[in-house]
Structure formats: structure tokens, C-alpha cells
Copies of this chain bind each other. A is one copy, B any other.
Amino acid sequence: MTSAHERRSYEQFCPVARALDLLGERWTLLVVRELLAGPCRFTDLRAHLPGMSPALLTQRLRALEDEALVRRTELPPPAARTVYELTERGRALEPVVYELGRFGIAYLTHAGPTPQPPMHLLALGLKLFVVLEALPGRAFVVHLALDEGDFTLRISAPAHGPAIGRVAIDAGTPAQFDARVRASLSTILWLRQGVMTLAEARAGGLLEVDGPARGVAAACALFGLETAA
């Protein structure tokens, strides 16, 4: 009984069912979400996943390790000892988490219990707003000057692999940018949810986009904002 698993499976010859065999249990994909942002210690994961018991976190990490989606690394003395990180196979989950997030945007209610979303969720959330179909055919930098903080959105040059791999977001202000967006998170959310139009937001001073003319248009497209009319 050492292996503990041979977990409950759907027993179907279907890629979707197989994926859910691996990822479908509670918390699993949220653990992956955390690890997509970079290596984490056990305690970091706990802090970012309130409500998850440590035993369950251990169990999920072991299962992910067994599937070679996560790797546990023991660091030499100086730093905190063990960190968890995604393997290359694990990083293949980025599109899955991305699409889940894209879908979830429509169901985000901003009058939630969290007064100020934690920084790392903010960065992830902003990444989800990017419309992959509208990525420019070249590298591109956007300065997101939100009320909640400054972020740098970098689109790298086209490459092989999933398009989401071209998108990176970090806290901070870029030295140069192709476009700059000033708004609050609420405004961006409302625009995406259709609560408000781009014209209304601009008229109300809730959103400003500036930079080189072509950059502005590209930035709007990037966030799915219609510039017409």
C-alpha cells in the first residue's frame, strides 16, 4: 500500500478523461497555477492556498511528482531547503490553466471577500486578459499602470509552442514600451465582462491608452478592446 494511489479513474479511452484522471481532483490545478509562477516552497503554497490542509497538499504534490509533472528539489544549506517546481511536462499545463482562467473571467465578481487581491494573482489575472489570437507578429511591451500597481507585459517574438508562452507579466515599470494603459483592475474587468464599453471608459476617464499610434491599436487588440466607433 505504499503507492497509495491507483486512484479513482474514469477508465475511458479519451484524452479529456485521462487529463482529468491526473488533474481532476480538488486543489490539483490550483497547485499547478501556483507553480506556473515559479518554484515554491511548501509554505508558500500553503499561504497561497488558504483552506487546503497540509496533508492534502502533501498528497497532491506526491501525486504530481509521481506523474512527473512536478519535481522536488533539495537546495544546499544557504536557502530554505526544499522547493517544488514544474517539470517540462508540467509546464505543458499552462494552456489548460490559461483557458480555465479565460473562462473564469466572466464569473469573477469584483465585490468579493478579498479587498485587495494578492500580487501574484493579479499578475496571473492580467495575463489571462491577453487575447492570444491578437498577439502581434513581433516583440511588444506594454506598461500597465494600474491603480493597484505597475506591471510590465512583455510579448516575445513568435516561436514554436503554445502562444501563451510568448506572454510574460512582471511587477514593475518598463524602461521603454510600445503602449501604456492606465486604468484600474475593475475597469479592465468591466470592459471584458461587457459591463462597460471602451468609449464609455475613456469618456469617464477610467482608461487611457497612449504611446506610438500603432502601439495603441495593437494594445487595444491585445486586450480584446474594439477601437472602432
Residues of A within 8 A of B (CB): 10-24, 26, 29-30, 33, 50-51, 67, 89, 92-93, 95-108, 110, 112-114, 117, 121, 124-125, 128, 133, 162-163
Selected from B14, B15, B21, B128, the residue in CB contact (under 8 A) with A15 is B128
**Could you say which residues of chain B place their CB within 8 Å of the CB of A50?**
11
Partner of A103, one of B26, B96, B117: B96
Q: Which of B11, B21, B113, B163 contacts A51 (CB 8 A)?
A: B11
Task: Known pairs A14-B124, A15-B107; list 12 more (Cβ under 8 Å).
Answer: A10-B51, A13-B121, A15-B101, A16-B29, A16-B124, A18-B108, A19-B100, A19-B104, A19-B107, A20-B30, A89-B106, A96-B103
Contact A15 B125 (CB under 8 A): yes
A29 cross-chain contacts in B, Cβ below 8 A: 16, 20, 24
Nearest Cβ on chain B to A93's Cβ, whole angstroms: 6
Determine if A103 and B51 form an interchain contact, defined as CB atoms under 8 angstroms apart. no
How many identical subunits does the complex contain?
Answer: 2
With A95-B99, A96-B100, A99-B99 as contacts: A33 and B16 at CB distance below 8 Å: yes
Report Cα–Cα, A207/B67, bound state, in Å: 31
A121-B12 CB under 8 A given contacts A92-B103, A93-B103, A99-B96: yes
Majority DSSP secondary structure for residues of A touching B: helix
From A121, which residue of chain B is reached at the shortest CB distance?
B14
State the CA gap A186–B19 with chains docked (Å): 19
Contacts of A95 in B (CB 8 A): 99, 102-103
Q: Given A96-B100, A106-B92, A125-B14, are A24 and B22 neighbors across the interface (CB < 8 Å)? A: no
Q: Nearest 8 CB-CB pairs, A to B?
A: A19-B104, A15-B104, A18-B104, A15-B101, A13-B114, A19-B100, A13-B117, A16-B101
Chain B residues in 8 Å Cβ range of A102: 15, 95-96
Q: Give the docked Cα–Cα distance between A100 and B163 (Å).
A: 16
- Known A-B contacts A24-B29, A113-B11; the reply to A18 vs B125 at CB < 8 A is no
CB–CB A12/B114 < 8 A = yes
Q: Whose C-beta in chain B lies nearest to the C-beta of A25?
A: B26
Is the CB–CB distance between A30 and B17 below 8 Å? yes
User: A118 CA to B17 CA in the complex, in Å?
Assistant: 14
